């Protein structure tokens, strides 16, 4: 009996799964951090418009940091995929 060769998933696919899991963990961590930040800012800043401005600025910062993180991870995956495809 001849067996057909078993195709295994490429190593870069495993790396992609790890990165996606890391992104999800980072997302939930960022959400929890923002909740803690809002909980800390709310009692300290009585003026609702100032509080909203500060929270909006923090949300924008978190979004920019997350975008930078995603771009970095995409670059790592791209480089790893290119390196592994040369092997």
Q: How far is CA 60 from CA 8, 39, 43, 65, 76, in A?
A: 42, 17, 21, 9, 24
The residue with greater pLDDT, 55 or 8, is 55
Mean pLDDT of the chain: 82
Q: Cβ of 45: how many Cβ atoms within 10 Å?
A: 15
Model confidence at 37: pLDDT above 90: yes
**39-61: average pLDDT:** 93
Helix (H) or strand (E) holding 36, with range, is helix 11-44
Contact 12, 77 (CB under 8 A): yes
Which one, of 19, 38, 34, lies nearest residue 65 by Cα? 34
The residue with greater pLDDT, 2 or 62, is 62
pTM: predicted TM-score of the whole model, two decimal places: 0.64
């Amino acid at each position: 009996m001849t067996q057909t060769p078993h195709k295994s998933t490429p190593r870069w696919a495993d790396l992609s799964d790890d990165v996606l899991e890391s992104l999800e963990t980072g997302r939930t961590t960022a959400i929890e951090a923002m909740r803690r930040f809002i909980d800390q800012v709310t009692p300290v800043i009585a003026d609702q418009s100032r509080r909203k401005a500060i929270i909006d600025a923090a949300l924008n910062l978190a979004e920019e940091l997350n975008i930078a993180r995603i771009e970095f991870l995409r670059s790592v995956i791209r480089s790893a995929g290119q390196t592994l495809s040369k092997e």
